[in-house]
Amino acid sequence: MIIDTNFLEQKNINSDICVIGSGPSSFSFIKNFLNLNYSVSIVESGNFFFDQKVNSLNHGQLDMFGNFPHKEYMLKSARVRMVGGTSNVWAGWSGPLLEEDFENKHWIPKSGWQINYDNLRNYYLEAQKILGLSKFIYDEKLFDFYPNKVNIKKLENFDNSFWQFSNPPLNFKKNFEQEIKELKNINLYFNCTATNFSKGIDEKIKTLVAYNSKKYKILFKAKYFILACGGIENATILLNSKQNIRQLDENNNIGNYFFEHPHVTLARGTTNNLNFLKTYKKQKLKQLNNIESLAGFSLKKEYRIQNQVSNCINVITNHNLLDVESAVILRHIMALRGKIVTTSKFINIFLKNIPELIKTLNLFTKNTFVKNKNFYIISRLEQQPLHENKVYLSNSKNKFGNFLPQINWRLSDLDYKTLKINYKAINKNFNLENIGKINPSNFIEIIDKESKKDVFAVGHHMGTTRMSENSSNGVVDKNLKVHNVKNLFVAGSSIFPTGGFINPTMTIIALSLRLGNHINELLKK
Ligand SMILES: Cc1cc2nc3c(=O)[nH]c(=O)nc-3n(C[C@H](O)[C@H](O)[C@H](O)COP(=O)(O)OP(=O)(O)OC[C@H]3O[C@@H](n4cnc5c(N)ncnc54)[C@H](O)[C@@H]3O)c2cc1C
């Protein structure tokens, strides 16, 4: 059932499981409980429509670095408060982490997961189905399905990696609504903002405190609590609960090691090798149910070990959207169309952004006339987890009395080194193989001066409740349970100890399916 808490009389709600948030992690978690005898409450801050006022609960402060792509992007645009969460603006780029992404790399401090790829393999297969994708192929075998035979020599010291696209991007909100509307055992409570947990006895959480939009307090009691509010809010809610629950974070780890997938324009280039450009263009694969796929190339593991660098993937593109903030704004507005309360609100937002939109249009027109042989290389970095990159509490509070998040984020020396080595290796290949000429971007040219301006975070918020062996070096264990608390679990990319270079949602889904299975087993005991 779906319940608007603004019209709810009841102020104490009991269930077996209480899930906070209704984005992809929550959506995948509850798959294990459809039509079972266990009762599930889902607590969601937003509504079924995008509402600027509700979204302003995503305010906070940034100790900024980079463009992000614009000032307010990381906290406000890259987090959406409504049913379906940030997936309401997601683009459908999908793929699993690589097997080696789970491994400890001695030259990267804090790398290594407590689980390995095999622990997620079957859940990845399920996630692939949920996302409406085709066969689970993410290596060079995918080239066999390309419409034109791939006819280029593999770049020395590089591997090819692939995305499949959920197209149109799976609408989690719609699916969520359809799936649980008629169910008796699952209730979605919307317009209900969680603020903090309160302590019970025996190292257990007793209650989740939440408020409806009219600021009436609602208390949720459950056997198990699953926090699924996204990479920044998961940490914020836990930090706001610390004063009530001492053992939650005795080692002050919550919020630390925040990382993103920083994007930079690495180079501009020209080539007469159209096969090269075709290979790295998005392709529609007829034999695989018309799924779309994209290949990128990343440094080989042996080369990374030899050079002691982390990972990054390079994609080839005609348009460099990272150059214009307006393109990102436009994309965001378009993604939210149909999800905003009224058409007039949509038109208002649209009109406000007209100058920026004109800039974007100019960019597209300019690029349309550029001959195919020009391209950009965009690199996406696996960022090193740094202790000082973190989400912590600012001095300001939201309307429910919760402290707002503040974020500190920068690149490390290893991150810069990786991008530099990556550029050099590509340049060498392009010269040797006569692929074409590339020129370094501004970013690469001034990298030694710690260039900041041209680094973009895209909205993949990871690492703030990292998985670890024990409470001294992280927040959750391999079953996603908060260390030293018996009944509190975390879902979403905040638990990633490292993030590879692939988009996070498929892994988020796989982890949540696995968590659902685990809680199901616990309830049976
Ligand atoms: C522009 C953009 C494009 C993207 N494209 C891709 C892509 O192509 N591929 C990919 O893999 N990933 C993509 N992502 C990332 C993807 O959207 C996230 O990985 C995914 O949405 C995370 O799911 P989640 O459920 O963990 O968190 P979210 O989707 O953020 O959901 C969190 C939920 O918690 C609710 N909530 C928050 N605070 C509270 C509170 N205090 N109380 C109650 N409820 C609360 C929110 O309203 C929301 O419903 C993109 C992100 C952005 C910004």
Structural domains in the chain plus CATH codes: 1-90+171-259+390-409+463-525 (3.50.50.60)
272 CA from centroid of ligand 1 (Å): 41
Helix or strand run (H / E) with residue 275: helix 274-279
Residue nearest to atom 14 of ligand 1 (CA): 90
How many C-beta atoms lie closer than 10 Å to residue 472's C-beta? 10
Q: Are residues 411 and 455 in contact, defined by beta-carbon separation less than 8 angstroms?
A: yes
Q: Up-side HSE of residue 244: CA atoms within 13 Å toward CB? A: 19
* pTM, to two decimals: 0.94
Mean pLDDT, each 10-residue run in order, the chain (525 residues): 95 97 98 94 95 88 63 78 94 96 95 98 98 96 92 90 95 92 94 93 90 97 98 97 87 95 89 88 94 96 96 87 57 63 62 66 52 82 95 95 92 92 94 86 70 77 97 96 96 98 98 98 94
Name residue 227's beta-bridge partners.
20, 490
**Predicted local confidence at residue 370, as pLDDT:** 41
Q: Please work out whether the CB of residue 262 comes within 6 Å of at least one atom of ligand 1.
A: no
Q: Please work out whether the CB of residue 516 comes within 6 Å of at least one atom of ligand 1.
A: no
Residue of 87, 173, 225, 380 with the most ligand 1 atoms within 8 Å of its CB, for mutation: 87
Q: Are residues 160 and 142 in contact, defined by beta-carbon separation less than 8 angstroms?
A: no
| Nearest-atom index, ligand 1, CA of 461 | 19
Dihedral sign (CA 506, 512, 516, 519): positive
Residue in the block written with tokens 């900041």: 452
Q: Are residues 463 and 496 in contact, defined by beta-carbon separation less than 8 angstroms?
A: yes
Dihedral sign (CA 133, 88, 336, 328): negative
Q: Please work out whether the CB of residue 78 comes within 6 Å of at least one atom of ligand 1.
A: yes
Residue of 162, 229, 476 with the most ligand 1 atoms within 8 Å of its CB, for mutation: 229
**Predicted local confidence at residue 203, as pLDDT:** 85
| Nearest-atom index, ligand 1, CA of 236 | 41
**Predicted local confidence at residue 35, as pLDDT:** 87
| Nearest-atom index, ligand 1, CA of 502 | 11
**Predicted local confidence at residue 357, as pLDDT:** 65
Cα(138)–Cα(162) distance, integer angstroms? 5
**Predicted local confidence at residue 500, as pLDDT:** 97
497 CA from centroid of ligand 1 (Å): 18
Q: Please work out whether the CB of residue 504 comes within 6 Å of at least one atom of ligand 1.
A: yes
Q: Please work out whether the CB of residue 298 comes within 6 Å of at least one atom of ligand 1.
A: no
269 CA from centroid of ligand 1 (Å): 34
Assign 16 to helix, strand or coil: strand
**Predicted local confidence at residue 433, as pLDDT:** 81
Q: Are residues 193 and 400 in contact, defined by beta-carbon separation less than 8 angstroms?
A: yes
